[in-house]
Amino acid sequence: MSALDAGRRPVIRPDVQAMHAYAIQDSAGMVKLDAMENPHRLPPALQQALGQRLGALALNRYPDARVNDLRQALARYAVMPDGFDLMLGNGSDELISLLALACAVPPSSVNGFKKAGVLAPVPGFVMYAMSAQLQGLDFHGVALTENFELDEGAMLAAIKEHQPALTYLAYPNNPTANLWNDAVIESVIEAAGAQGGLVVIDEAYQPFSSKSYIDRLARHHHVLLLRTLSKFGLAGIRLGYLMGRRELIAEIDKVRPPYNVSVLNCECALFALEHQEVFAAQALDLRAQRALLFDELAKLPGVHAYPSEANMLLVRVPDAQKTFEGMRLRKVLVKNVSTMHPLLSNCLRVTVGTKEENQQMLAALRNCL
């Protein structure tokens, strides 16, 4: 009899038992267009140089001050404002979890005996809600409009009602891939700050976007900027970074596990930043491929592709499940997001790949409509 059997003292939290683990699709032998990865690998010369560099690392030692070199390099790359600092995470997922942990203030007379909360527009990145639940915070999702814009009135009402500790604004959003109105964003930021909450601008897809919040970050004391090197082209090394006012980052950094970024992750990231022109060229190619793909999708009957500021396209088809399965049988893997939220009915999310991959995807899609 296992520890989960009925009649025994529960060992695993009931809410965890009721959850579904984050699903990763089997992509063996597939054209993999389901996870917003950069499809380009390092050029052979850089592969060799990086291999030699990693081979010389002291893997027998814990990470040392080299991580501070990476923090400084990222600050220069991002053009971080004066008076700000950044902390590193094992991907942005860890940073989202650490933010929830740091803000999980227990109910007391000070907060009216209410649980701390996280608020975000939906549909959005699933980890905002998952991290809130795992850390014991309430999650409040506020539906976007039918055009996937922020519903300003609903957002402001939810902030007033729930007084969230954390409000997430993905810029651009996943899976809708759009940027939101700047004036509405500022309205939400001001409202969240007025009741004492933090706002996190999640710029995971910044390399593919026409805009960033970085030049507005210094206006506020309660706004944090979250980025990742996954979309930069380093999804495999799992490295994210969080920027904010120095005193605010110092508080959040207290909950970060020691040595959370390995020497391998750190050195790979430093190497990539030293060759950032290679990754900038890759991002430029993917933006061009995105435009071509958008035009081709517009020619397909019954297909509607939404404008994108990320390395993905949200595509509405007549029957998402049938199309998804048909494409998978043709060895093309995309993401079926149609059950994530009612606004995404019959929608697929397609990563922008190489020219060849995009052509294979389009051929498979045509045969499945």
Return the biggest CA–CA distance within the chain: 62
Q: Cα(362)–Cα(369) distance, rounded to whole angstroms?
A: 11
Q: What is the pLDDT along the chain (369 residues), one digit of tens a residue?
A: 455 555 566 788 888 888 777 777 777 888 999 999 999 999 999 999 999 999 999 999 999 999 999 999 999 999 999 999 999 999 999 999 999 999 998 888 777 778 899 999 999 999 999 999 999 999 999 999 999 999 999 999 999 999 999 999 999 999 999 999 999 999 999 999 999 999 999 999 999 999 999 999 999 999 999 999 999 999 999 999 999 999 999 999 999 999 999 999 999 999 999 999 999 999 999 999 999 999 999 999 999 999 999 999 999 999 999 999 999 999 999 999 999 999 999 999 999 999 999 999 999 999 998
Q: End-to-end CA distance of the chain, in Å?
A: 49
The CA distances from residue 149 to 171, 172, 176, 192, 334, in Å, are 12, 11, 9, 18, 24
| pLDDT, tens only, 201-220 | 999 999 999 999 999 999 99
Which are the contacts of 24, defined by CB distance < 8 A and separation ≥ 6? Answer: none
DSSP secondary structure string, 56-91?
Answer: TS-TTS---THHHHHHHHHHHHHTPPTTEEEEEESH
pLDDT for 1 equals 44
pLDDT for 8 equals 66
- Strands, E assignment, 90-207: 117-122, 138-143, 166-170, 198-202
276-298 and 263-274 helices, crossing angle to 10°: 80
The CA distances from residue 193 to 222, 223, 224, 314, in Å, are 6, 8, 12, 32
Which are the contacts of 181, defined by CB distance < 8 A and separation ≥ 6? Answer: 149, 150
Q: Which helix (H) or strand (E) holds 227?
A: strand 223-228
Q: Cα(316)–Cα(3) distance, rounded to whole angstroms?
A: 44
Which strands sit side by side in the sheet containing 138-143, from one edge to the other? 84-89, 240-245, 223-228, 198-202, 166-170, 117-122, 138-143
Least Cα distance to 171 among 197, 208, 118 occurs for: 208
- Residue 222 near residue 214, CB atoms below 8 Å: no
The CA radius of gyration of the chain, in Å to the nearest whole number, is: 21
The CA distances from residue 153 to 17, 160, 188, 320, in Å, are 36, 11, 10, 31
pLDDT for 21 equals 77
pLDDT for 94 equals 97
Q: Which helix (H) or strand (E) holds 46?
A: helix 44-55
pLDDT for 9 equals 66
- Residue 37 near residue 351, CB atoms below 8 Å: yes
Which strands sit side by side in the sheet containing 347-351, from one edge to the other? 304-305, 312-316, 347-351, 335-336
Phi first, then psi: give them for residue 203, nearest 5 degrees.
-105, 50
Instruction: Identify the sign of the CA torsion 354, 204, 128, 121.
Output: negative
Q: Cα(324)–Cα(300) distance, rounded to whole angstroms?
A: 16
